[in-house]
Amino acid sequence: MEILWFGSDISGVGGTSIQPGYLLEDEGTYPLMVCSNGVMAANEIGGAEGFEHTVCREYASTVAAEANALFNLMQHLSAKDTNHVVVGVQIEDEPSLILNADPVTDRCHCPLCNSLFAAGAYADSLDFCKQRLAIYLNRIAAAVKLSPLKIWTRVNWVDAFASCDEDVSRMQSLATNVDFIGWDPYGETQASRYQVFTNPPPGGLSAPLNFPFACEEPGGQDATCRQKILDLFAANGAGCEFYRVDTYSTNAGVDNYLINPDGTDARPWTDAIRQTFGMLRRVMSKAAVLMGGNDAAAQIQYFNSYGNTKTIYHGTNLLAGVGLQYSTTTGGVGLAFADGNDLVLMSDLAGIFILQGGPGVFENGFYDQDGNWVAVSMHPAATNADGSMTIHLSPGTPYEVVKFIKATELPLVSGGAFISGGFFQLTISGVPGQGFRVLSTNLLQAPQLTWPVVGSGTFGLGVMSFTDFGATISGRFYRVASP
């Protein structure tokens, strides 16, 4: 869960429906913003959040009141959220110091702001607002960072942030308590979104000390939920969330889906969101620290992405010295990264990988929270005439994660015999320290993927024995697989 904090600033204004009475009723302690014509920016417009009540964010009393509220919220979470369900806090909502001024690029003209403006030698009102906004957000975020919990902080900015007082460079130097700078990309194409995520300021969000974050994503717009999520990670971004959704439940609470604001069914695109995040979650403890990019040096490679997802795609990337081909006819996006000598392969829709560097085995599975691979089942693959291997991903089970484990040395079965007690014992050997599995069946024609595992272990030095204590019938067949 991420907490969305709608404090003193919603798109540059406040609202009587969400701000506390003690603030609304005491303009002496909590002064309002003042426009250039001397009019206080308060109670002028009736909006969705009540009458606007725009406080000036420069006064210590106002900052202290909001910071105190956030600090106490963090203290509550520290005591009650023992499972660490809450992982982050959005600081304000599309904050700005100019949006309710007249003209829109003007600043607050209260006595304190006039004094700060005169003392700071600012180029203009917009320059003043850019710097003061970063300082204000840093002060509020500091209240979250005082918590003993590890909580991220994030700000979301309006679509056309480059023309407002939302300045990425100022945030880098003046708002070090804000971890992520997010963007509300309404109406943007896949290509334009990716360009903003990857370009440095002032035209984009990519810069040192923070990561891009996609906020208030229109969910089903253009049916590109999967691409939006994966493009964000391909741009080394930190997250993607979808806006204006509620939940409803069917099938006795088993199936939970989102609905559109007008009440219509949003099942198709919410399934895409849920399953794509589900795939990424299975590798996040590994993939989160890898640097992506559209070049051969990238640690995690993306296929059919980077702001341009095609329905039919075929391409080759080099990863850890292995040539990887990926193709799709369903608009899938491929992902691959190296884990030591192994390769991890994913496709958000049906896709085919062809890789060199075999032989080896493929396993379906996931990484646990400590980064350990957990194998669930074997995955079928075909060996081609040139020695390459072909694997089909997500033909019926969407968003699976498959690990290719290269066989450095095949295990050897050098003998087998019945021993005392009627048990069967194999004599085996393999790479010392490498794990092995023993599979057995009484049906030789059974597909190898269906053979039950009757035991496992780790190879030591030299020849070793494995005893099948469950062997109760004759005519059994055995295989040893490693790793």
Q: DSSP characters for 104-144? A: TT----SHHHHHHHHHHT-SSHHHHHHHHHHHHHHHHHHHH
Output DSSP code: residue 343: E
> To the nearest whole number, what is the mean pLDDT of the chain?
85
**DSSP of 199-237, one letter per residue?**
SPTTT-S--TT-EEEEEEE-SSGGG-HHHHHHHHHHTT-
The two beta strands, 453-458 and 50-53, are unpaired
Higher per-residue pLDDT: 419 or 258: 419
* pLDDT in the model for residue 252: 47
Cα separation, 86 vs 145, in Å, equals 14
Taking the C-alpha atoms of residue 261 and residue 243, their distance in angstroms, rounded to an integer, is: 10
Task: Give the H or E element holding residue 322.
Answer: strand 322-328
Lowest mean per-residue pLDDT among 59-63, 83-87, 290-294: 290-294
- Reported as a single tens digit per residue, the pLDDT across 211-265 is 788 888 877 766 788 888 999 999 888 888 887 655 554 544 445 556 666 677 7
Rounded percentage of the chain residues whose pLDDT exceeds 90: 35
Q: How far apart are CA 338 and CA 319, in angstroms?
A: 7
The torsion defined by the Cα of 219, 225, 229 and 231, in degrees rounded to 10, comes to -120
- DSSP H or E stretch at residue 70: helix 60-80
Spell out the residues 6+ positions from residue 45 whose beta carbon is closer than 8 angstroms to its own: 51, 52
In this predicted structure, the answer to whether residue 66 has a pLDDT above a threshold of 60 is yes
Locate all alpha helices (DSSP H) within 224-295, ordered by sequence. 225-234, 267-281, 284-287
Q: Which residue has the higher pLDDT, 174 or 9?
A: 174
13's CB contacts (< 8 A; 6+ apart) are: 41, 47, 52, 53, 54, 99, 100
Contact status, residue 179 vs residue 137, Cβ threshold 8 Å: no
Residues 47-53 have a mean pLDDT of: 65
Q: Residue 406's pLDDT is what?
A: 78
- Enumerate the domain spans of the chain: 2-287, 300-406, 412-481
Contact residues for 342 (Cβ-Cβ < 8 A; gap 6+): 403, 404, 405, 406
> For the purposes of burial, counting CB atoms within 10 Å of the CB of 372, is it exposed (0-12), middle (13-18) or buried (19 or more)?
exposed
Residue 284: is its pLDDT beyond 60? yes
Instruction: Kindly state the DSSP code that residue 450 receives in the 8-state scheme.
Output: G
Find out whether 207 and 201 touch, Cβ atoms under 8 Å.
yes
Count Cα neighbours of 263 within 13 Å in the Cβ-side half-sphere: 0
> Reduced to 3 DSSP states, what percent helix, strand and coil does the chain have, rounded to the nearest 5?
25, 35, 45
Angle of helix 125-145 relative to helix 111-120, nearest 10 degrees, comes to 110
The span from the CA of 295 to the CA of 334, in Å, is 15
Q: Pick from 39-43, 102-106, 165-169, 358-362 the range whose average pLDDT is largest.
A: 165-169
Residue 466 is predicted with a pLDDT of 92
Label the pairing between strands 300-303 and 313-319.
Answer: unpaired
Distance of alpha carbon 327 from alpha carbon 345, whole angstroms: 13
Q: Is 50 exceeded by the pLDDT of residue 146?
A: yes
Structure tokens, 239:
């997250």
Q: Please return the burial class of 345, using the count of CB atoms within 10 Å of its CB with bins 0-12, 13-18 and 19+.
A: buried
Please tell me the pTM assigned to this model.
Answer: 0.76
CATH architecture assigned to 2-287: Alpha-Beta Barrel (3.20)
